[in-house]
Each structure stands twice: as C-alpha cells, then as structure tokens.
A and B are shown apart, each in its own frame.
Chain A
C-alpha cells in the first residue's frame, strides 16, 4: 500500500462575471512547486485575464496522490460512510474547525451513547495529532477539542 503521485499538477483559474456567475479554466503542468503566486501561474494569470472580460479572482494549484492498492473496508455497526464521527476543534482565533469523519469504528464511542470516547487510545491519538498539525482555514493553530459525538445517517422516507 503506497501513495502514488499523479504525473501532473492541476491549476484552476477561477473567474467571476458582473452577475457573480463563476467559471473556471483547468490546466495541467509538470512545473515544480505548488505556490499559486509563483511562476508559471503568476505568468499565466495576467495572460488569461487579458483574454477575458470576467474577473480572474482566484488560482488554485493542486497535487493528487492515489493509493496503489487500497485496503479492504472494515465491517462494524457504523461502517457506512453515512455514519459520521463529528469532531469540532476550537482555533486560536476563536473560529471552529468541524470534521465529519465517515465510517467510524464502533469502539470510538461510549457504549449505548452517541458520545465519542475521547480517552480511547486511537481516538485520543487522532485528536492530539489534529491539534498538533492542523490549522484553521486562516492558518491559525488549533487549541482544543470542542465536541465529539456520533452522527447517524439521515432517515429515509417510509413507503417509497
């Protein structure tokens, strides 16, 4: 099991017209680096803008890697992706980072409860790892776990 990098990076140039409608142009490149403010993206942006009357208001550069041999999904009470482990973290700037993790293991929860068992070894390690390494969207560090519980799948309508 290993992550294999895609051969190219994807650059998405986002446009917005005067009505607020959005469109984008996607290009692929083998250029090094993922900084959208550096070349070749910084060179292409004004050229792209010169061709369009809409405003070029964003550039996104992304790199993808795929598992070459994905494992077999587990099977337990909450193994469907519709079942979620909801984790909410408080950031240093007062904002919240919310995660809905699909298909949690059954042992992540307190028995007969929707509460997550945050002292369970694996879950405690995950929470500590996220606080240590993840950030808010604005780049501020995370401070602490705010909430952790199970979200069950939405109910389906009966008789259909």
Chain B
C-alpha cells in the first residue's frame, strides 16, 4: 500500500477511549512526524476529548499459495515457546501447522532439527525479533501442535 494508516486514540471525560483512523502519505514513518503532530494539534482545537496515543501502520498483501497438509484449519496451531535474554517466555502460535513439521510418532511434537522449517524460523526470530520491551529472543526452545477444538455434533 502506498499509504500509512494513522490510528488516533482519545479519551473522553467519562474515561472511555475512542479510536479513529486516517490515511496519509507513505512518507510518514513515525508517529512523531510533523504531519501527524500537526493533525493532532488541529484535532485538539476542535475536540473535547484528549489524545492518548498514536499508531502508524503500513500493510502489504502477499501472494503465497495453499500448501498441502492434513491440518488445514487455522485452529490447528503450532504453539512455540521462545524465551528472551531475561528468561521470560514468549509464545507464538503459527496457524495451520504443516503436517511435515509434526513428528509422525506422537503427531504432536514439532520438529526442530537443523534446517527444518521451524528451526529456520527460530533462527530468524532470534536474529531479527525481540520481546515487547526490546529483549533479545533466543529462538524456539519448545513447540507442540495444538489441535483444533472439537465441536459438539448436537
């Protein structure tokens, strides 16, 4: 997308928060950009509510295709535990886990051997991603498949 979405969150005197979004040029890459702060200043003079936060976001669409797997619903997840440098554990849940990445023995353990898909993802997470506060991740240490919730037939 060639736009940046700016989501502004406000609070009224009753303590309730309200959000709305506008689109600006994709040249805006920071919530403290003068275009955003100028917009907040213009809004502040017209509204009784007060600004709490600003989020800017950019989207892109991708063109991957469906793979082939027995676990073809997003509810079938690979639950991955990723500790950070301060030993706090973070969890990500990869939806519709590939059948080939699940141990054929117990149908539950995710394969984390070198050059497996999840090991490659783990290496990338350790290299490029952090916890919410910026703590470095050490990679996936534990991963298992969580099956889709069964639905009642009644």
Contacts and interface: CB of A to CB of B under 8 A. Distances in A.
A5 B31 contact: yes
Tell me what chain B mostly uses at the interface: helix, strand, loop, or mixed: mixed
A27 B47 CA distance: 34
Contacts of A31: 128
A1 B127 CA distance: 35
A53 B97 contact: yes
B46 A18 contact: no
B42 A64 contact: no
Tell me what chain A mostly uses at the interface: helix, strand, loop, or mixed: mixed
Interface of B: 1-4, 10-14, 16-18, 20, 22-26, 29-32, 35, 37-39, 42-62, 64-69, 71-75, 77-78, 92-99, 101, 117-118, 120-121, 124-125, 127-134
Given A56-B62, A79-B12, A8 B130 contact: yes
Given A17-B72, A104-B47, 16 more contacts: A7-B134, A15-B95, A19-B73, A21-B73, A28-B130, A30-B130, A43-B124, A47-B121, A55-B66, A56-B62, A59-B59, A64-B53, A73-B49, A81-B18, A85-B47, A130-B22
B128 A103 contact: no
B42 A54 contact: no
Interface of A: 3, 5, 7-8, 11, 15-19, 21-23, 25-31, 33-37, 39-40, 43-67, 70-76, 78-81, 85, 97, 99-105, 108, 122-123, 125-126, 129-130, 133-139
B16 A81 contact: yes
Nearest to A31: B128
